[in-house]
Amino acid sequence: MNGQWQLISRPVGMVKESDFGYVEEPVPDIGDNELLIRNLYFAFEPAMRGWITDAKSYIAPVQLGEVMRASTVGQVIESNNPDFKPGDFVTGMAGWQEYFITDGSAGLMGRGASKIPDGIAPELMMSALGGTGLTAYFGMLDIGKPKTGDVVVVSGAAGATGSVAGQIAKIKGASKVVGIAGGSEKCRWLTSELGYDAAIDYKSENVAKRLRQECPDGINIFFDNVGGQILDDALLNMAMNGRVVLCGGISSYNELELPPGPKNYMQLVIQRCTMEGFILIDYLDRAEEAVNDLSSWIQSGQLKHAEDIQEGIENTPKTFLRLFEGKNIGKQLLKIAEPPL
């Protein structure tokens, strides 16, 4: 049987475990050119909160009664497709289910399968070498355009994207990288393990004041994962010609009413700054370039990565909620099976 978590109600405000329902269905036989994949890991992204909202976005919403969309790593256990053999590890968007049948064609957000090259750990393919690593790479390099000596601030800094983004800035010669994260444990991790120069605990400190202290000459790049008050605090502290990289705004993803826009946006005028959003899918044709750079930085020890791995398919919605509770350090994953072959 194929255990699946389906979307059963559209969340109102904070997403709840009860917005998803568990069902089991027989695993169908595979057809010509198809392969059967046993999923091993689910990856969790805050953007999934947007995918279950019936609102216009960059991707169609998940429908009620549909398996929840999610990126996955699995292993091929049966194949009628000459490009895949049993034992191959694959990534895809197979969703919250144990088994998945595809012909392997890996559409953009489609539900295909891409082979994981030999020697790369499946977890890494979902974190620093996966969507969030690539997001940090293109957001920081293409939008932030770091230069030697820049002062860089990253919000959501202890998460999957933020933890990589700050390290990339450092690799590219930033003179100071400051992270903003929730709680002393995350802040300690940023400075003691990841090479951040300073960290601000937004849950217990005055962010605007600390940014003024840490960045007396202003912020050259603000890489924002959070939005809301933290974005406003950073805008007040931008340096001349600074760049604000809008990666995400998790602080409002579960809000019933969107907060008013940033109060301090006139600082963009006064300081001649740019503020630009981006979506990773526009950069996927350059994925190889990012994976090559990120891999070589990992191998040389310049880039550290972390995965928070929970276990058991029964814990799927609970693990999703960890993102909004700030429980994850690094990439949030759920392991649902050992490699079967």
The site that binds ligand NAP (CB under 6 A) totals a number of residues, namely 31
d(CA 95, CA 84): 20
Q: Is 162 in the site for ligand NAP (CB under 6 A)?
A: yes
Q: Please report how close the Cβ of residue 79 comes to ligand NAP at its closest, in angstroms.
A: 31
* E strand segments, 182-260: 198-201, 219-224, 238-246
CB of 289 to ligand NAP, least distance (A): 16
Minimum Å distance from CB 262 to ligand NAP?
15
Q: Which of 19-27, 83-91, 92-100, 247-255 is the region at the interface with ligand NAP (rule: CB under 6 A)?
A: 247-255
Buried b / exposed e over 211-223, threshold 16 CB at 10 Å, is beebbeebbbbbb
For 203, the 3-state DSSP assignment is coil
Cβ within 8 Å of residue 49, ≥6 positions away: 11, 15, 253, 254, 324
Q: How far is the CB of 323 from ligand NAP (least distance, A)?
A: 4
Asked if residue 201 binds ligand NAP (CB under 6 A), the reply is no
Q: Which residue is nearest to ligand NAP (CB)?
A: 159
Q: Does 244 bind ligand NAP (CB under 6 A)?
A: no
- Residue in the structure block whose two tokens are 């088994």: 99
Q: Is 238 in the site for ligand NAP (CB under 6 A)?
A: no
Q: Which of 124, 221, 280, 333 binds ligand NAP (CB under 6 A)?
A: 280
Please name every residue paired with 144 in a beta bridge, in sequence order, or none if there are none: none
Q: Are 70 and 40 in contact (CB under 8 A)?
A: no
Which positions lie near ligand NAP, rule CB under 6 A? 45-47, 131-132, 135, 156, 158-162, 181-183, 186, 225-226, 247-251, 278-280, 323-324, 326, 328, 332
